[in-house]
Amino acid sequence: MSSILEVRGLTTQFSGPKGYVTVVENVSFAMKPGATLAIVGESGSGKSVTAMSLLRVLPEPPARIAAGKVLLSGKDLLQLGEQAMRRVRGRDISMIFQEPMTSLNPVMTIGGQIVEAIREHRELSADEARAEAVALLDRVRIPDAGHRIDDYPHRLSGGMRQRVMIAMALAGRPKILIADEPTTALDVTVQAQILALLARLQSEFGMGILLITHNLGVVAQIAQRVLVMYAGRIVEEAPVRDLFQDPLHPYTEGLLGATPRMYQDAEAGARHRLIDIAGIVPQPDQLPPGCAFAPRCPKAFARCREERPALLPTRDGRQSACFLTQNTAASA
């Protein structure tokens, strides 16, 4: 099956006092229709900037896309003018932003905002668009949608506001839905409901989902492939099952080690102790020489501190940017 979205060498920079600083570097991946691809990593890894670069919603300046291609069904979005991009946003690619309370307009009813999104991309009358908005709210399981459509955002719970954001994102019937931390600040029960809702809507609409998250539990539930990002670069790519069973990059090992487990290892008779990753993600203008993760990596050696590893194939369709795994693959 051919890819619906293909990103090649995407590089995004922000201007600073000393010139432009690279915050996302040489990011490449592809998405199949109807599939879910997750991008994971700590805050500051470049996940959201990557997503916003695809839609070209970063303010230019201070941001600029310095290199790369974003091919949607073969059409390079980076070569389109702003008017053409306005037609792409919402219709071909839609995005659910991190915090629905700040993404929704507090002085407009939720219905007014959904109707606006519908009429932007579809030639419907006001009455037809309102009926479609009610149908969308009903589809995302908003109770009594015909009456709640006239509510303002502050009258809804966090979970209900997130459902409204999903309804708005679906208004143009997109081919790809970017979900940026869709379960942030939601309790576990509501989080499970939102994930189940996304899975059901994905099946109904046949759309691909690009999931941006730091929650590996969410990834395990709904993704098929995973990109692990660190300091603006992809350091590992793998099918989700392989990544959880056999992580190749030490950073991925650290993320998994810091994830709570539901069940203890009864056979070993030991409790699973969470492992923290020492230090923090470096600022884009303060990257160390060599591998950006080397100062925090317990397995780093001299070469790691001097030379930056490229993202290379290892085995079984996987990729890793680590000298240890690349040496192992070469000797196998």
Using alpha carbons only, what angle is made at residue 207 by residues 231 and 136, rounded to the nearest 5 degrees? Answer: 110
Q: Looking at the structure, tell me whether residues 185 and 309 fall in a common domain.
A: no
Domain count, the chain: 2
Q: Would you put residue 142 in left (φ > 0), alpha (ψ -120 to 50) or beta?
A: beta
Q: At residue 20, what are phi and psi to the nearest 5 degrees? A: -80, 140
258 and 216, same domain (yes or no)? no
153 vs 165: CA distance, rounded Å = 10
Q: How far apart are CA 237 and CA 230, in angstroms?
A: 12
pLDDT category, 278, cuts 50, 70, 90? confident
Strand order in the sheet with 36-40: 93-96, 176-180, 208-213, 36-40, 225-230, 233-239, 319-320, 312-313
Let me know if residue 113 belongs to a domain.
yes
Within a domain: residue 244? no
Tens of pLDDT, residues 42-99: 988 999 999 999 999 999 889 999 999 999 988 999 999 999 998 898 889 999 887 7
Q: Are 251 and 275 in contact (CB under 8 A)?
A: no
Predicted local distance difference test score (pLDDT) of residue 29: 95
Same-domain pairing of 255 and 203: no
The two structure tokens encoding residue 56 = 């070209």
d(CA 179, CA 188) in angstroms, rounded, equals 18
Same domain, 165 and 254: no
255 lies in the same domain as 199: no
Close Cβ partners of 226 (under 8 Å, ≥ 6 residues apart): 37, 38, 39, 40, 219, 236, 237, 238, 239, 240, 243
Minimum mean pLDDT range among 11-25, 44-58, 159-173, 242-256: 159-173
Q: How far is CA 221 from CA 31, 165, 169, 212, 226, in A?
A: 18, 21, 21, 14, 12
Residue 258 lies in a domain: yes
Contact 229, 249 (CB under 8 A): no
In the predicted model, is pLDDT for residue 245 greater than 60? yes
Paired strand residues for 93: 89, 176
Residues 74 and 210 in one domain: yes
Top pLDDT among 265 and 2 is at 2
Verify that 213 and 258 share a domain, yes or no.
no
Same domain, 206 and 107: yes
Q: Are residues 202 and 296 in the same domain?
A: no
pLDDT at 27: 96
Q: Are 94 and 167 in the same domain?
A: yes
Mean pLDDT of 295-304: 93
d(CA 212, CA 218): 10
Domain CATH number, residue 192: 3.40.50.300
Whether 282 is covered by a domain: the verdict is: no
On whether both 144 and 15 belong to a single domain, the answer is: yes
**Whether residue 176 sits in one domain with residue 309:** no
Whether the pLDDT of residue 100 is over 70: the answer is no
Closest by CA to 151, choosing from 110, 115, 118, 117, is: 110
Q: Which domain holds residue 315?
A: 249-262+272-277+289-331
Domain assignment present for 283: no
Question: In sequence order, which residues have a C-beta less than 8 Å from that of residue 30 and are 6 or more positions away?
Answer: 3, 5, 6, 7
Please list the residues that pair with 180 across neighbouring strands.
212
DSSP H helical segments within the chain, as ranges? 47-55, 82-88, 100-103, 110-121, 126-139, 145-148, 158-170, 188-205, 216-222, 240-245, 250-257, 302-306, 323-331
**Backbone torsion region of residue 289, taken as left when φ is above 0, otherwise alpha when ψ lies between -120 and 50, otherwise beta:** beta
Please give the residue that has the higher pLDDT: either 330 or 291.
291
Q: For residue range 156-185, what is the model confidence (pLDDT) as tens digits? A: 888 888 889 888 888 888 899 999 888 776
Do the Cβ atoms of 130 and 190 come closer than 8 Å?
no
Sheet holding 63-72, edge to edge: 19-31, 5-16, 63-72, 75-76
